[in-house]
Structure 1
Amino acid sequence: MPQKAWSAKRERQYEHIKEGLRERGESTDDAEEIAARTVNKERARHGESRQASRTSTEDISSGRRGGLRSHSGPGGRTKEQLYAEARAKGVKGRSSMNKAQLARAVGR
């Protein structure tokens, strides 16, 4: 769902990502959600949005992350992302957990 705040470039980026996901077999709803999240994250990384999460600005770029994490098995989220989710869920002992333990704790 394109937003009013998006520039023409971001609209094109959204459509490109959405169509690519549809070609790979994603449902329309999932493709739209993933495309919108990707565009919003890129906007945050480039200072185009009013608010930006720490993950949006400190994680590697969406394009690079996709290349690194796709087709490589259960790499998924970074340890920092898992830790943040564990903190949000109130998981006890999270500071001493490794990535695999965090993944199990937050319920992959």
Structure 2
Amino acid sequence: MDDGFIPLVAILGIFIGLPWIVLHYITRWKTAATLTNDDETLLEELYQLARRLDERMDTVERLVASDNPEFRPARIVHDREIDNQPLRELDRMLAEKGRTSK
């Protein structure tokens, strides 16, 4: 009886247990790699916050530049086309996402 039990356990382990473990972790890996709705909402809120902060920085820089003509901002120039293009692309993607989710 012992002679048949060990090979049976080995065969079941190889043909049932091993594929189950591999498929289980593949499924876990695929589900963990995607963004959840909460993640997407958080990213959208952070994006909106970054845009508002950018607008505020532009305002502060304009105020400082009006008081001190020698002031040179060390950051991106306001409303430069090359800087605004990625922002427009993000706005377009958010608009598409909003249309598809409704």
Length-normalised TM-score, structure 1: 0.24
Larger relative contact order (CA 8 Å, sep ≥ 6): 1
Q: More helix per residue: 1 or 2?
A: 2
